Amino acid sequence: MTAPAPDLAARYQSGDLRALARAVTLAEAGLPAARPLLKLARAGGIRSVVLGITGSPGSGKSTLTDALIAALRGRGQRVAVLAVDPSSPYSGGAILGDRIRMLRHHADAGVFVRSLASRGALGGLSARTMAVLALLEGGGFDWIILETVGVGQSEVDVAAACDHTLLVVTPAGGDGVQAFKAGIMEIADVIAVNKSDLPGASRTVRELTSAQALGWHDEHTWLAPVRKTIASKGEGVDSVIEAVLKHRAHLGEAGLQERRRLRAEFEVRSLVQERLLRRAREVGDLYARVARGELDAEAAADELLGDS
């Protein structure tokens, strides 16, 4: 199949959620039929607030996402959620647990929730995530929330994929210290100290705020605001939304365009890597030849790239 049915494109443009779901399936599978739909989706420019949510496992990312949906719907905003779940390195299957957590929104036509498998991507995002994001933005949603797989220090690709990055930490378990060690603080535009009813929340807020001030900065530097939240009770969620909107104003049109350029760069790079890895697998004995010493790794890379 090289092109979508004409009625699918028309239904997608009209905001039909079933057509959107079909378009997402085509894009995730990397089928050529998705390309005309992606062209339609990208023709409208920047239309949505694209928020990435990252953080360590157990920090409450999914619960906070659910609370954000409720708060944004209360403001009359249409919301799409793309939840990237960890996939098995053996079967390729994924748990898709985030959809279970957000079931209370399933009957709301203003909410669209979709899970994608990470497909082993170390940065937490699969190569097809960017295409799906584009389709969601073309679907007319005011906010798109990308919740990434909780894999800690390798989870930084989200900064290249989204307009704004929300880092979720907790007072317990040394999450604040891990944020310093991993350098993940550098990608955070807003920080939520979730489960702030636990002991040590105020201390964590102070540490995170102080740590940012230690680096070089001037009056133009954005220092990520740190907000306390109790996602399970919906507390502090509005302050997070306001912090994101404040960062959007700080970026301005030029800053948002630069973020979208980075997203395009990430998408192209991811697809190139995916195709090269597929080609390497198709050359059945390439790795074996390197292992036997018949070919060095540099020569193998040259062979894959077609370099002499």
Q: Flag whether pLDDT at 97 surpasses 80.
A: no
Q: What does the buried/exposed string (b/e) look like for 40-58 if buried means 16 or more CB atoms within 10 Å of the residue's CB?
A: bbeeeeeebbbbbbbbbee
Distance CA 20, CA 142 (A): 15
SS (H, E, C) 207-275: HHHHHHHHCCCCCCCCCCCEEECEHHHCECHHHHHHHHHHHHHHHHHHHHHHHHHHHHHHHHHHHHHHH
Please answer whether residues 145 and 79 qualify as being in contact, where contact means their C-beta atoms are separated by less than 8 angstroms.
Answer: yes
232-281 residue pLDDT tens: 999 999 999 999 999 999 999 999 999 999 888 888 888 888 888 888 88
281-308 residue pLDDT tens: 887 788 888 999 988 999 988 888 887 5
Mean pLDDT lowest among 56-70, 179-193, 262-276: 179-193
- Single pTM value for the model: 0.85
| Closest among 145, 184, 129, 125 to 51, alpha carbons compared | 145
Mean pLDDT lowest among 65-79, 107-121, 129-143, 168-182: 168-182
Mean pLDDT lowest among 98-112, 135-149, 249-263, 278-292: 98-112
Position with higher pLDDT, 84 vs 205: 205
